Each structure stands twice: as C-alpha cells, then as structure tokens.
Amino acid sequence: MENRILGLHHITAIADNAQRNYNFYTKVLGLRLVKKTVNFDDPGTYHFYYGDETGAAGTILTFFPWEGIGQGKIGSGMATNIGYSVPEGSLDFWADRFTQFNVKHENVDQRFSEQYLSFQDPDGLKFDLIVSPTADNRKGWETKEVTAEVATRGFHSITLTVRNVAPTAKILTDLLGYKLLQQEGNRYRFITDAIDNAAVVDIIETSNLAPGKGAAGTNHHVAFRVKDDNILMEFREKIASKGLSITPKIDRDYFFSLYFREPGGVLFELATDNPGFTRDEPLAELGTSLKLPKQYEESRKEIEQALPLLQ
C-alpha cells in the first residue's frame, strides 16, 4: 500500500497581508505555524506553513502572502474549498468563535450525511469545517482558546471546481488511485482507501462558470502525498506516460515535489513525507525563526529587511 498516493499532503493558497494571515490562522483558527520561510521562486515573499504539532502530511496549509496583490476570483479550474475535519459537537464553538472574531460564515448545513460549517478567511478563501462519521484519531494542535475537544484535526477534503468532471475524474481514478464514492447533484465525491484521513476529493462540475483568477483568497495548488522519492519518481513516469507535462523532481527543503496541471486546470503537486519540518529546527521551535533555503542564506540580511515585520 505504501507505493500509493496517501491522500492530501498540503494545500497552498494566496493571501494579501502577511500579518493578517498569520493572526487569523494561528489565533482564530488555532493552527501551529510550523515553518516560516520564503517563496523559493520569489524570496521577497514569505511562505507560511500551518499545521498540527509536527506539520504532518494531510494537515499542512501554506500561504504566499503577496502584499498588495489584490483580490483573486474564485472560478472554474481551481480548488475552491478546503475541508477541515473537526470533532463531533465542535461546530457550535466554531460558529460562536467566528461571530466573535467577525469571520464570515454560514449556518451549519449537511451534505453526504456530514454536518459542516462554511467560513471564509480574511482574504475570502473558502473553507468547510466538517464532522465526519469516519473515525479521525489525529490530534489537533492546542492553543489556550482552541483546545483538543474542538481543534481542527487536519484536512477532511479538497473541493475542485471544473467545467467538465470526466477528465479530472480520470486523473484521480486512473493515476492517483481514487474511486467515486457518491454523487449529490453536481458534486462528485472521490476517496482513496490508501489512507484513513485527508482521503477525500470532491469535484463540482459547473459547465458555465468563468475561469478563476489567481490572487488573494484563491488556491494556488493541491499537493498529494507519497511516502518517499522513489515512489515520487514512479508516479512521475506514470503521469508522463499519459502525455501530461510534469516537472522534474524539485527539492522544497521539507519535501521533494513534482508538479503537473490536470486537464480541468488545477495545478497538482506530488510531495514526499521526507525529510519533514524538523530538518532545520527542533520540534519545540518549529516556526519560531525565519528559515531560508541555502541558496538565499548569504542574502539573509537583505531578505529579512525586505520582508514585512511580523508581530
């Protein structure tokens, strides 16, 4: 089973103001900042990684906060909703908390026999907190205000919105090992049995929705999890053999990656478990200092001066 896609690895989105993003995810949502680094392709921009205590695969939400980038537009050909798994009985706590912090949210609703609460982050990125009947024993990161009884446990699902479900579904089933579980209206639920959690991908088919525009409040890419580099390269061959264009293996310091665009327009990544977030700082200190990839270490001073100050 270990040579399979093990559900979601991380999800990356775009924000505008770095401080506002940091405050929302660490304080309101109660996630742990597990790594503070820069965008490897644009070192004048932060790259924040939020997750559980260790930054386990399937819990990692990452952001490029591009100051002044302006509002993106959610549309077809992108991931349009991020689902977090939360404990049973926690949705009232979250609804109250969102009211208290002026977070845009909806009433609790139900879909595929699961209760969920929709909300948006300060940039308009969309989320659902979902109570899944499937056992989820992952331990959420605890803060003083967000305790284990209510804390998010990591991802439940990602939702992709595309104009035509079939080509994207084919990638999920033929290449990534997912199968169709259920359908409700124009929402198709896919799941992999290779892993217990973060195993769901929903596809919404909307034939007349305009394409999205990537900027603040939109998703950048969705990363699926593989165990190690060998399996990563096995998938590279498999994906390339279907005629899809895929990058070489890229070293992201905390994992190794490949990227390809699925036919519906969403940027997919495959990412490894190794080496993980403790490769350059101990577990207790994750996220407390700015970490740079070695090619930027000699410019640390200039980079630190250019980045917005975080409080």
User: Which chain residues interact with Zn ion by CB under 5 A?
Assistant: 12, 223, 269
Nearest to 138 by CA among 99, 183, 96, 195: 195
In total, the chain counts a number of residues equal to: 311
Closest approach, Cβ 103 to Zn ion, in A, equals 25
Closest approach, Cβ 256 to Zn ion, in A, equals 11
- The label of the residue with tokens 């630190």 reads 304
CB 293 within 8 A of CB 37: yes
Nearer to Zn ion, 114 or 269 (CB): 269
Nearer to Zn ion, 136 or 269 (CB): 269
Nearer to Zn ion, 72 or 87 (CB): 72
Closest approach, Cβ 231 to Zn ion, in A, equals 17
CA distances to 16, 157, 304 from 8, rounded to whole Å, are 25, 8, 32
Nearer to Zn ion, 163 or 221 (CB): 221
Closest approach, Cβ 79 to Zn ion, in A, equals 12
Number of CB atoms found within 10 A of residue 228's CB: 15
Beta pairing, strands 109-111 & 114-120: antiparallel
Closest approach, Cβ 80 to Zn ion, in A, equals 17
Nearer to Zn ion, 111 or 249 (CB): 249
Handedness of CA 52, 56, 59, 60 (dihedral sign): positive
Nearer to Zn ion, 12 or 157 (CB): 12
Closest approach, Cβ 268 to Zn ion, in A, equals 10
Handedness of CA 268, 52, 26, 124 (dihedral sign): positive
